[in-house]
Amino acid sequence: MAVLRTLVCLTAIGMFMELAMAANHTVGGASGGWDTSTDLQSWVASQTFAVGDNLIFQYTPNHDVHEVTKADHDSCQTSSPLQTYTDGNTVIPLTSPGKRYFICGTLGHCSQGMQIEIDTLATSTPPSASPSPSSPPSASPAPETSPSPANTPESAPGSPLSPDAPSAESPTLASPPTSSANKSSFRTCLTLGFGLVLMVLLAL
């Protein structure tokens, strides 16, 4: 009985982890949509797509969604789509890595910007944070001249000439955490929470 409970628990945890790792990408973002007024290319560039994620198109009846080949995407050709969707709320699972192409089949809309290229990655591991930009190289110091001993002032402690003076360089600011890292932490916490609740229920 205990072995059966353990197997059920592990299976459920795996399912919860898969659900927590998946992300839903609404085309155009919260302030846009699948239409001619949204900068869809900028939205695509801001996203990271991975296997298991869902691509969500929300649109009005004067639009539709055609999945096409790269050649038809580049030429806005709508005569031979791979798939056509017209329900107004299309959810497309990203089930395999690689590139997929979508355009609007309404006459003229593709050439007005309603075309996107989705590059799906094999895993949903967020990219590592970019290192802080290095400080610009300082200019080469001018050659020093040897002043006469009589004209050389003594370097007082704390003065700009003193070797004990604190450095004026400002500290390098740490890069803020990326949104992908925050999303990964949230998913991990959600998964662990589901798993703990399930284990408690099975132990009763």
Give the DSSP H/E element, type plus range, for residue 162: none
Helix (H, G, I), strand (E, B) or coil at 83: strand
Percent of the chain's residues with pLDDT above 90: 48
Q: Which of 98-107, 111-120, 122-131, 135-144 has the lowest mean pLDDT?
A: 135-144
Q: What is the CA radius of gyration of the chain?
A: 29
Angstrom distance (rounded) from CA 199 to CA 7: 11
Q: Which CATH number fits domain 23-120: 2.60.40.420, 3.30.450.20, 2.60.40.10, 3.40.50.970?
A: 2.60.40.420
| Cα 202 from chain centroid (whole Å) | 36
The residue whose two tokens read 């639009």 is 63
CB 68 within 8 A of CB 102: yes
Q: Which residue has the higher pLDDT, 150 or 67?
A: 67
- What is the four-CA torsion angle of 70, 74, 79, 81, rounded to 10 degrees? 30
What pLDDT shows up at residue 66?
98
Task: Name every residue whose Cβ is closer than 8 Å to that of residue 63 and which is 6 or more positions away in sequence.
Answer: 34, 35, 104, 106, 109, 114
What pLDDT shows up at residue 139?
52
Question: Mean pLDDT throughout 22-37?
Answer: 94
End-to-end CA distance of the chain: 13
Full-model pTM: 0.55
What pLDDT shows up at residue 34?
97
22 confidence band (pLDDT: 50, 70, 90): confident
- Interval 146-190: pLDDT, tens: 545 444 444 444 444 444 444 444 444 444 444 444 455 556 556
